[in-house]
A and B are shown apart, each in its own frame.
Chain A
């Protein structure tokens, strides 16, 4: 039995929330630097160089990488041998409020989509909890910016659309988004499941390591095909043309109904921020 104290959880989560906004992880930096080496368009090279310089300034001077410090998204894996004598969602929200207030992060959440009154502490977070076996609590955090979130899309394709239909839909979403989601982007693609499951696994795909590959060979093949097709669009950094439209494509899949082929595309900007803590 792993009994986790509330204070410890709040402090650890507040720490990763603040760090995620300031310290872009090494794999994302490596992707950006590789893109800068390979880019042939001069204006695009300049943009990629600014992006690389920006993340260094952010880390060294502890300034947020981007002023859009996002909506706080958590993916939590809760082991069956973990004991919590408090409300996990309330504790995660307390950590978010602490980090966004004390860490000089922007508060971007309004209490209702129509009355649009700011909650002033960036809560509530969006929290997904999955029960797993084991004695640990794994908490993954991503601050999700709206520029790229707003360009995300879902389609309920039919089985006949298949692999080619998925590629067509994803490339169309990227083309129509153009410069709006701050390319070079990372694409989280969810295929299968139901309407909401596809969107959820697409979001979760964005928290994968940038240099990993899907376990399933079909998903892996789709990742490679999409990476090639998206980078052939010439959307380019900030939509101003170039070789670098996406840094990575992550496909997650789930079984689905005999009549369905849901496809969700969650777009992440080049500030592919995420951190995790295991308690």
Chain B
């Protein structure tokens, strides 16, 4: 089990290998379908991104509302493949660490290797457990999107596994081809 801190430098990112089990701590950002659309729109209009992409991890989640006294509700990953078309545009802009669930398409995997990016996964459907690893949550962009807004999360020991690494390693093997 590797303990890593976010944001992450390039050397650490490149050293990750498919199958590595990680415990992530530090600051990560959330975004799913609607936020990705806006991030790509912002990129095309040469507007500032909602957060600095350099070394940052984007976590594909749309949490349930926080109960009083809690930073966040259930916050497990959503299916990553839906973000493939957006990731193709955002990886060259610097967003090269992604966390979600499930296999992704070939176009995404090819681009991931070209960009020396990494794709991490966490078990889906364990949102209650994962909510206990989040210390704080704050909206940083697109508040009108509600659960789909971009949140800045401070996490501790957030579990993840490297699914696709920067040199073409693929934990899913042949299953998704």
Contacts and interface: CB of A to CB of B under 8 A. Distances in A.
B31 interface: no
A270 interface: yes
B171 A238 contact: no
Given A64-B127, A66-B76, A179-B102, A50 B159 contact: yes
B147 interface: yes
Nearest to A60: B128
Interface residues of A, number: 43
B67 A180 contact: no
Interface in B17-45: 34
Contacts of A50: 123, 126, 129, 159
A118 interface: yes
Contacts of B73: 63-64, 67, 104, 106
Nearest to B34: A116
Interface stretch (A51-59, A130-138, A248-256): A51-59
Contact of A106 (B128, B129, B147): B147
Nearest to B132: A57
A137 B63 CA distance: 34
Interface in B41-68: 61-67
Nearest to B130: A54
A67 B63 contact: yes
Contacts of A270: 125
A1 B56 CA distance: 63
B128 A63 contact: yes
Contacts of B147: 67, 106-108
A269 B127 contact: no
Contacts of B103: 178-180, 239
Interface string A46-86: 01001101110110011111111100000000000000000
B36 to A, nearest CB: 13
Nearest to A58: B128
A245 B25 CA distance: 31
Given A64-B73, A106-B62, A147 B78 contact: yes
Contact of A182 (B75, B101, B159): B101
Contacts of A175: 175
A54 B62 contact: no
Contacts of A62: 67
B102 A238 contact: yes
Given A51-B126, A67-B75, A239 B63 contact: no
Given A63-B131, A106-B73, A178 B176 contact: yes
A147 B171 contact: no
Contact of A180 (B70, B79, B131): B79
B124 interface: yes
A57 to B, nearest CB: 4
Contacts of A269: 124-125
A87 B64 CA distance: 30
B129 A69 contact: no
Interface string B117-158: 000010111111101100000000000001100000000000
Interface string A146-187: 010010000000000000000000000001001110100000
A57 B129 contact: yes
A30 interface: no
A241 B123 contact: no
Interface of B: 34, 61-67, 70, 73-76, 78-79, 81, 101-103, 121, 123-129, 131-132, 146-147, 159, 161, 171-173, 175-176
Given A63-B64, A64-B64, A106-B147, 12 more contacts: A50-B129, A57-B128, A63-B73, A68-B78, A106-B74, A116-B34, A179-B102, A179-B176, A180-B103, A182-B101, A237-B123, A238-B101
Give me the 5 closest cross-chain CB pairs, A-B, nearest first.
Answer: A54-B126, A58-B128, A182-B124, A67-B74, A63-B128
15 contacts: A51-B126, A57-B132, A63-B128, A66-B128, A67-B73, A106-B62, A108-B62, A179-B102, A179-B103, A179-B172, A180-B103, A182-B102, A234-B175, A241-B173, A269-B125
